[in-house]
Structure 1
Amino acid sequence: MADLPTLFADGILEGTVRHGVARLKLAVQDGNGSPATTGLLVVPLAQLPAFAGSITRLLREVEAKAREAQGQVNAAAAPAADTPDVAEAFRFQG
């Protein structure tokens, strides 16, 4: 995956649909808190529901892992330094 372009985005600045293609302009906040475009995500409209479903499933997995980590912390009553990292890496395949 090292040869794939990597885009960081913390939001979508704009979305359009033309000719059966959804175009999502990805954005990140710049140093002044204003959105700055980082790239364009282009998805065939026919695939947009599946794409959105995959993102939704990923979010549900992240939420479940966060609840699981919180439950382990509460059960052990461990100090904050022992709190599992919720952002721990895991693989999702949509």
Structure 2
Amino acid sequence: MTAIPTVFGDGIIDVHVASGVARITLGVQTSASAAIKDGKPEPSAMVVVPVLQLPNLARVLADVTRQIEARAKEVAAGQAATQSNQGQASQNQSNQGQPQDQVAGAFRFNG
């Protein structure tokens, strides 16, 4: 398997569509760009997608966004329940001062 380049983008700077191809310019915000370019992000990469594939790309990104929101709600509900349980436990016994373990969640979406 060949290595593929990994790029980072804080957001989208520009989208240009011509000849059936969408060119999406990703941008990254750095301390240098904030100081020098009035806070405008610098281009970091360009994603080139056939226009006919844009609906599929948008669908997958929307699905991933929904999954992230659902996971965030699950984590928030779990933390609220844990805090509630800890509050009840501290009323029943003395607080031992142990911090709550937090696990960062990660998942893969295969659409």
TM, length-normalised to structure 2: 0.74
The aligned residue for residue 47 of structure 2 is 41
- Taking the aligned partners of 1:57 and 1:80, their CA distance within structure 2 comes to 34
Secondary structure of the structure 1 residue equivalent to 2:65: helix
Query: For 1:80 and 1:73, how far apart are their aligned partners in 2?
Result: 13
Listed as ranges, the gaps of 5+ residues in structure 1 are none
1:63 and 1:54 map into 2 onto residues whose CA distance is 14
Secondary structure of the residue aligned to 1:89 is coil
**Residue 15 of structure 1: aligned partner:** 15
The count of corresponding residues between Structure 1 and Structure 2 is 92
Bigger Rg, structure 1 or 2: 2
Question: Partner amino acid for 1:27?
Answer: G
Mapped to 1, the partners of 2:50 and 2:99 lie a distance apart of 45
TM-score with structure 1 setting the length: 0.87
Give secondary structure in 2 for the equivalent of 1:55: helix
| SS of the residue 1:25 aligns to | strand
CA change 1:58–1:42 in 2 (3 A) is same
- Higher share of residues assigned helix: 2
Instruction: Tell me how far apart the structure 2 counterparts of residues 2 and 53 of structure 1 sit (CA, whole Å).
Output: 27
Residue in structure 2 matched with residue 4 of structure 1 by the alignment: 4
Bigger strand share = 1
Task: Give the counterpart of 1:63 among 66, 69, 75.
Answer: 69
Q: CA RMSD in A?
A: 2.0
Fraction of identical pairs, as percent: 39
* Equivalent residue runs for 1:49-88 within 5 Å: 49-77=55-83, 78=86, 81-85=100-104, 88=105
2:110 equivalent to 1:93: yes
Cα offsets for 1:20-43 (capped at 9, x unmatched): 001000101121233101010000
